[in-house]
Amino acid sequence: MSVGHVSRIFESMGLSTVCFFVKSFMHLIEQMKIPRTIVTNNFVGRTIGKPYDLSNQTNVVRQGIELLSSATIQNSFKII
């Protein structure tokens, strides 16, 4: 839950955030009301992908940057 708290504090100071989660935490994402979230279908501990899978990891991070630059409403999330 601390990710949500830190994200909201940063947002209140004018710093935009994107949080990355694995799909198994979907039930918590809605409760935490995180402003922008990327949800991946990876395993816990591998949120942005398998070790050394640079192609997939780069894709996930790019999706986060795109969400950060394009999301106009609070509590937007994208499942990839």
| 67 touches 80 (CB < 8 A) | no
pLDDT digits (tens, 9 = 90+) for 26-38: 888 888 878 888 9
In the predicted model, what is the mean pLDDT of the chain?
Answer: 86
Alpha-carbon Rg for the chain in angstroms: 12
pTM for this prediction: 0.80
Mean pLDDT of 62-80: 77
Domain extent, residue 71, equals: 2-79
**Residue 19 pairs with which residues in a beta bridge?**
37
Element (H, E) at 77: strand 76-79
Q: What's the total number of domains in the chain?
A: 1
DSSP 15: -
pLDDT digits (tens, 9 = 90+) for 39-62: 998 888 899 999 999 999 999 999
